[in-house]
A and B are shown apart, each in its own frame.
Chain A
Amino acid sequence: MPGLGTSFGRGGATTNLMDLQNSDCIVIQGSNMAEAHPVGFQWVVEATRRGATVIHVDPRFTRTSALADVHVPIRAGSDIAFLGALVNHVLSNDLDFREYVVAYTNAAAIIGEEFRDTEDLAGLFSGYDAESGSYDPESWQYVNAPQAPAAGQRDPAQPGGPHEERHRAARSETAGSGGPAVSAKPERDETLQHPRCVFQILKRHFARYTPEMVEQVCGVAPEQFAKVADALTSNSGRERTSAFCYAVGWTHHSVGVQKIRTASILQTLLGNIGRPGGGIMALRGHASIQGSTDIPTLFNILPGYLPMPHAHEHENLDDYVAGDAGSTGFWGNMRDYAVSLLKSYWGDAATADNDFCFDYLPRLTGNHGTYETVKGQIEGRCKGYFVVGENPTVGSGNGKMQRLGMANLDWLVVRDMQLIESATFWKDGPEIETGELATAEIGTEVFFLPAASHVEKAGSFTQTQRMLQWRDKAVEPPGDCQSELDFYHELGVRIRRKLAGSADEMDRPLLDLVWDYPRDEHGDVDGQAVLREINGTGPDGAALSSYTELKSDGSTACGCWIYCGVYADEVNQARRRKPHWEQDQVAAEWGWVWPANRRILYNRASAAPDGTPWSERKKYVWWDPEAGSWTGADVPDFIADRPPDHVPEDGATGPDALGGQDPFIMQTDGKAWLYVPVGLADGPMPTHYEPAESPVPNPLYPGQQGNPAIENIKTASNPMNPSLSEVFPFVFTSYRLTEHHTAGGMSRTLPYLSELQPEPFCEVSPGLARERGLEHLGWATIVTARTAIEARVLVTDRLRSLRLGDRTIEQVGLPYHWGPNGIVRGDAPNDLVGLALDPNVHIQDKVGTCDIRPGRRPRGPALTAYVADYRRRAGVVDPEEDS
């Protein structure tokens, strides 16, 4: 999310699936869209029928490739080198959409003299602290910014220390809606000639990302690179637009955020953001992944991407708001959003006199992400755990770590529809087989509570294009099955009942909580009442229709400001179902999209600076001088009556500071960021680093192999393969099949789907099969420093042996859906994954190195001995001794 958030101001797909049909060129990279999002892929097919060129850049030839004009096989994990070379191609051949770039991006902004690029410092940016392995972004700022980053972003207690950096990293996701704050509008050189302007810095940064380098890093031949570059640049500009689609093939990397950043830079330079047929389509993998970050169950944010307060910075509401609100743009109204949230949490108890109960919020002191938490469980610092509709022992990286953590709890609550592996680890997990754990010695008390299915409860999902769609309830849940809504409501009721009368200050936030929801005739909580609370209400108690109505005086309440409007006019707008044949292509009356039902974000940019459409062919939203307002096919993502020639007064704040040519209204300067002066933990511009485990050196920066700001999880059960190891010479990458879903709890338990894909397998090239003696349909054992798993072998040309200069790279493909439970079973590929995390979002690499051998894996204690032998031969360092 911060990849898109820091670039454009909101961490959501900038466009929608249906709009892909308007594209002239679609690049699908980091996604096998035809198989993982099959129904969404119909819009790519529609585009090809209209003459669009489709390019698939992916390690494997898949059904997506089969329907593309060009398939470019690429080494897993090398995307930044490929995309960076496209950026270089655009910049060195003057192929950017110059008028768009000058007007709508920070290309003209001038950066301070202290900044040093990776080109100057052999792969590091200025501000790197080797001891803590983290950056101080102070030297990355705009020239006229104060010496310190925006207020509230520094930790006065430990300047420059790891503690501070950790926190800064943890902040990245607050860019989900609203870019990071810079304190002033930057000095600009509209000619883009100043040597320290972003445009020139970017040009120098990517100058060595050439087609020859792409061949050496990615294994992509220069002719193939040229095909992609030509298709993309000839299909961008006034008359034509190109779109990018990506999925977890980009996000699941230790440089995942920067991959998305590179695509953002490219699309911005080509003028493809905010326009029909353009944009970046983030393909989320679960029904409500987007919703789970908008209304987060994430440690570092509150609803609407408000940051969780930090102990060292936010001692009161003033600190909190001063530190995180940009003074200009829509984030400038952060106090309204924060106070309205506190009012929806604590109602009448929240008053101006008590800072609206700001002190009731728990504070962060660093990274409290899931993998840090699991480490805490192993170390005995975290003893109670709720696992809700999730199967971490199969779905998370390094399953063993997950199980060791769970085995060390006091209590575990698992809520699911099936007895998934995370519920039964104590009985039949892999460590029971190897003897590393013994059932009778595991003290964890386990509650398995059966859950209601999607048709047994009413509620909304937010799908991949930020659209909320309401589901009605079809039937009652059977037996003890319950929705999360009912379970958590009931849990809250009981906890509050048990604590009633407590005079302990620590119990006040629970006792003062607004926790009174109407129930239906079955005694179930009315989900629409919760959605209405999320939407927000005004002083008269009526539902609000827009977040611009929110106030900081306590007169409004709103559970998630970016969702304000979903219950406008007291109507559940997410439940709207006007058939598409009764609407135009935008289909504005089906469901509801945040923000404010805008279907293409930043659509002010679909018009030229003067407010007229860039071209008749790509007309979308434009200025109507007679009506004095923006108009067009979509809800304008702009202040409706702000004319294109408006220049804000000096010293204006909040939305008043946005000029008529500032389409990125959530950014403090109203511009798309080619260069991110603040908000990212690993650099203002993307740089190619090798994955944490890689068989090849980094040819771009020989002294800097991996992401210098990478986050390592140091615990005995998370050893890492040394890079360039002959013991682990191959690359593995994992992915989905059409017939299964993620960790399998929702697919390996269904007879139809189990029949369609009955057994785990690995895909290898004929070359690798010959090299290792692997037989088609036989067994193979795949080994990393963590463990070894077995799978059937599929020898196929779909995986190619790649030539990287003078060496050949082989990749092992692993569909990751299986685990030991369910109707169809097998070893869990994620047990192979080592945890080395992106420092912005704390997400792991899904690529790593491995060995592969014919035959089944050893059983029982022989398995641990087998893997230990590999570790010894590869010289793997014990993580706990490596400090």
Chain B
Amino acid sequence: MAPVKAFLGWPLVRQVMGADRLGRGHAAMSERSRGLAPRTTDADEVVDSICPYCAVGCAQKVFVKDGAVTQIEGSPASPISRGRLCPKGSASKQLVTSPTRVTKVRYRRPFGTDWEDLELDTAIDMIADRVIKTRKQFWEWEADGKRTRRTLGIASLGGATLDNEENYLMKKLYTAMGAIQIENQARI
């Protein structure tokens, strides 16, 4: 009987004899593919997000398992994107998991020829010291007899993938610092 069973199990036979005449469903499955499931089905959590590339603002669903992103897909609910993502949005999981992503602080001392390690806490402290020093060094109360209350010693250039809340805190802090050369990709 075994040869008959094997014969009946052939995809072509299943396609001809079964309901899946076009061979695009069950008829085409093997033992292995029958057991496969999308990695989205066993996610611990599905989180609503927005694509960070262009400004269309496609809605994303971020699938998380064991504290790691396992998949990012388009969210069908969005009236703008209706579930679609372009190649960049579809690849955006790799933004998070890219093999070349750097997750440790790197430091290059003046005239240094290579990167060095540095603790994050130390780095932020050093940056705070440098801001204070440069700010004072280039402080300007007046220009052409008019009050300016500023420093031209410190500048900033931000990308346009920053959140509104981030831009808000940046502009607020820089303005209080007296730094005015605060710019953004929006000009570039």
Contacts and interface: CB of A to CB of B under 8 A. Distances in A.
Nearest to A508: B176
9 contacts: A291-B163, A365-B146, A373-B155, A459-B163, A459-B165, A461-B52, A484-B163, A485-B163, A590-B79
A390 B186 CA distance: 11
Contacts of B169: 484-485, 488-489, 492, 525, 530
Interface stretch (A97-105, A465-473, A600-608): A465-473
Nearest to B131: A495
Interface stretch (B4-12, B21-29, B32-40, B84-92): B84-92
Contacts of B92: 454
Given A459-B164, A487-B124, A843-B188, A738 B108 contact: no
Contact of B161 (A288, A439, A478, A822): A288
Given A389-B162, A590-B78, A370 B144 contact: no
Contacts of A467: 57, 80
Interface string B166-181: 1111111111111111
Contacts of A756: 87
A382 B153 contact: yes
Nearest to A736: B54
Interface stretch (A205-213, A278-286, A675-683, A779-787): A278-286
A525 B175 CA distance: 20
B165 to A, nearest CB: 4
Nearest to A252: B188
B47 A411 contact: no
A132 interface: no
B134 interface: yes
A294 B164 contact: yes
B108 A749 contact: no
Interface in B38-90: 45, 47-59, 62, 64, 67-69, 72, 76-82, 84-90
Contact of B162 (A288, A311, A450, A473): A288
Interface in A341-370: 345, 359-365, 368-370
Contacts, number: 490
A484 B59 CA distance: 22
A746 B183 contact: no
B164 A531 contact: yes
Nearest to B165: A530
Contacts of A447: 105-107, 118, 123, 126-127
B2 interface: no
B156 to A, nearest CB: 4
Nearest to B123: A447
B166 A459 contact: yes
Contact of A498 (B58, B86, B128): B128
Nearest first, the 6 closest Cβ-Cβ pairs linking A and B are A463-B57, A459-B163, A389-B159, A479-B103, A286-B160, A362-B150
Given A383-B137, A475-B69, A495-B173, 14 more contacts: A39-B85, A42-B82, A283-B55, A286-B159, A292-B185, A383-B138, A385-B154, A427-B108, A448-B105, A463-B80, A464-B57, A471-B49, A485-B165, A746-B53
A387 B164 contact: no
A294 to B, nearest CB: 7
A476 B47 CA distance: 13
A59 to B, nearest CB: 21
Nearest to B49: A471
